[in-house]
A and B are shown apart, each in its own frame.
Chain A
């Protein structure tokens, strides 16, 4: 048997240091991978590590109904009443309905959907939403052949939403999708996040989320979904048609007068983290690019 000299045995302390050194290498390689592949797809739930913290998701919001600062929605929405809540689905449909929130929660099972949120202001989060595909809800009402677009309308209640007392936007908040976008499985009706009930500041009791479009497309606190023949005008299009188009797909090639759309900052990564490249369709191109074949997305931004 070969005798091991004492000097060849690595002292435990150094061994442990080596482990932590290798670990830290692995960690930084891991976080590098995160920044170079900023893409968390539906169903890839394994990337739990990169989820934006619950605190950041629920205290850093754009929700002008509750004020224009990022912290306002959290501060001003805590007493917002979401019960009872009814959503009207109407327009070019065979069976218009008024459906209560309770019934929605009973009839549709929400699943966890981890999606990236890219704000038009050049920042992004990774959010574990709870929800289901909007197509399921829309199939309840049988859209007619005239239903070419879907218009969403948020609640108007200036008593509870003090931001609505000022004409910052054309209240109530309106958004819209083309019917094929609305029927796409990635287009989600959101009922919660982090396995909890949706917080008021994130659009309770019900909002939509379209992962390949800038965040403002995903209307909050929805009370009306109307299927229509003509392209609806959204609140932001109304405010500034040059800056905000109807489609508003995440597109690093379409410049915005204020924010860089080529790169983004990831919320919660801290001050020394670099910007990362913004991906076409926010990284969901494989799923949604076919909706826009033969369309000039620089023209239809």
Chain B
């Protein structure tokens, strides 16, 4: 039974990707398709941050170690959706117009923060292998704590880009703050 867990989580985690691919191919994205793809991939990035951060609290609550074994895969899906999100903006929306993009990064704070979050994700993705873990030893944990900062940057990115109705980003913020508090509390005990 257990050997099916990981493949099923992999399969489930990739469904959003196939869903958006289907919508692109069959033209189901409405009048502003580029914005749809951007929001879709951005939202799934945040969701995977939440899934990833939920694993260690789940382990503590259920007292089952199995959760931790999903964490790396879920974390890599953060990077996967974040990269799609970034590429939608850079390649599809701005067609590699680096001048406009760099201007955006330095004049629009939500883009600056979003881009910073993606940059910070890269070393985590690169050091996700067992080999890297062995090689970095104690440093590995420290590096991967960056995810807490990335999670906050991701939510701030969402809050700053919303025009008026903050309900959705605030829901994400509350969930992520609760998940971060878990760490704090358990460390003290």
Contact = CB atoms under 8 A, between A and B. Distances in A.
Is chain B found bound to chain A in the same assembly? yes
B104 A260 contact: yes
A244 B34 CA distance: 25
B108 interface: yes
29 contacts: A56-B31, A60-B30, A60-B31, A64-B164, A68-B164, A68-B165, A70-B30, A70-B31, A123-B35, A168-B165, A169-B164, A239-B164, A255-B108, A257-B108, A257-B109, A257-B160, A258-B108, A258-B110, A258-B161, A260-B100, A262-B100, A265-B34, A268-B31, A271-B24, A271-B33, A271-B37, A274-B95, A275-B93, A275-B95
Given A60-B30, A68-B165, A267-B31, 16 more contacts: A59-B31, A60-B31, A64-B164, A70-B31, A121-B163, A168-B165, A239-B164, A257-B108, A257-B110, A257-B160, A260-B104, A262-B100, A270-B33, A271-B34, A272-B92, A275-B93
Contacts of B95: 274-275
B32 interface: yes
Contacts of A71: 30
Interface of A: 56, 59-60, 64, 68, 70-71, 121, 123, 168-169, 239, 255, 257-258, 260, 262-263, 265, 267-268, 270-272, 274-275
B107 interface: yes
B5 interface: no
A265 B38 CA distance: 14
B29 interface: yes
Contacts of B163: 121, 258
B100 to A, nearest CB: 7
A60 B30 CA distance: 9
A255 B29 CA distance: 28
Chain B interface residue bracket vs A: 20 to 34
Nearest to A263: B100
B180 to A, nearest CB: 26
Interface string B130-170: 00000000000000000000000000000011011100000
B25 to A, nearest CB: 10
Interface in B97-118: 100, 104, 107-110
A121 B38 CA distance: 14
4 residue pairs, one from A and one from B, having the closest CB atoms: A271-B33, A68-B165, A60-B31, A56-B31
A101 to B, nearest CB: 29
Interface in B21-48: 24, 27, 29-35, 37
B164 A271 contact: no
A271 B92 CA distance: 8
B94 interface: yes
A257 B33 CA distance: 22
A121 to B, nearest CB: 7
B120 to A, nearest CB: 22
Nearest to B161: A258
B107 to A, nearest CB: 6
A40 to B, nearest CB: 18
A94 B18 CA distance: 65
Contacts of B30: 60, 70-71
Contacts of B37: 271
Given A257-B109, A271-B92, A123 B32 contact: yes
A71 B93 CA distance: 22
A60 B24 CA distance: 19
Contacts of B92: 271-272
A265 B32 contact: yes
Nearest to B107: A255
Given A169-B164, A258-B163, A262-B100, A271 B108 contact: no
Contacts of A268: 31
A168 B165 CA distance: 6
Contacts of A168: 164-165
Nearest to A52: B31
